[in-house]
Amino acid sequence: MHTSNTPLKKKLLKESKRKRMRLLGLSRKGSKRPDLALMNKDPRIIAKKIRSSNKSPNGIESRVISIIKSYKIPLKYKGKSSTFNGMKPDFVSTNGKKKVVEIFGRRFHDPRYNKTIRILQTVKGRTKALNELGYQVKILWDSDIYKLTDERIADELKRFMK
């Protein structure tokens, strides 16, 4: 059945969009595409984003895991399994030394790119908190991991683990 876009139907669609925007606390001002703002508030899209961001280990962590295995570096991937005062470091030393390796991405850990991050997600906050627990911390940025060869990453990790 063909439905035409009558002025009444358009008005009803606009009205419902305004109501949805008002319910979500969104305004039309400053938004070039309010429908995109609504789409990003859709619970199905939010759930999909959460599922994809909670994948453990992610691509970069998988690469570092393979480097650790092939170069026999005494680190173990912990991911989301172990907690240190609520923090979940990516890699923990297995040789008895209190050392932790974190992999940070700008999207989640750099306050210049993400204004809403908590202090424990920043380099200073995470390092300070883990140092207070007696751990030394090495932070690898995802952008550096993309640029460096496996050998260079392994050298950095080996130097840190000495």
Task: Give CA–CA dist 59/105, Å, rounded.
Answer: 12
Task: Give CA–CA dist 98/131, Å, rounded.
Answer: 10
Q: What is the pLDDT of residues 92-127, one digit of tens each?
A: 999 999 999 999 988 888 888 888 888 888 999 999
Give residue limits of the domains in the chain. 7-53, 59-161
Per-residue pLDDT band for 1 (boundaries 50, 70, 90) equals very low
Task: Give CA–CA dist 29/22, Å, rounded.
Answer: 12
Low-confidence winner among 27-31, 58-62, 112-116, 124-128 (lowest mean pLDDT): 27-31
Spatial contact of 141 and 104, defined as CB atoms under 8 Å apart: yes
Across the range 38-60, mean pLDDT stands at: 69
Spatial contact of 29 and 111, defined as CB atoms under 8 Å apart: no
Token representation of residue 108: 């989640």
Of 3.40.50.300, 3.30.70.2860, 3.30.390.30, 3.40.960.10, the CATH number of 59-161 is 3.40.960.10
Across the range 10-17, mean pLDDT stands at: 55
Spatial contact of 108 and 117, defined as CB atoms under 8 Å apart: yes
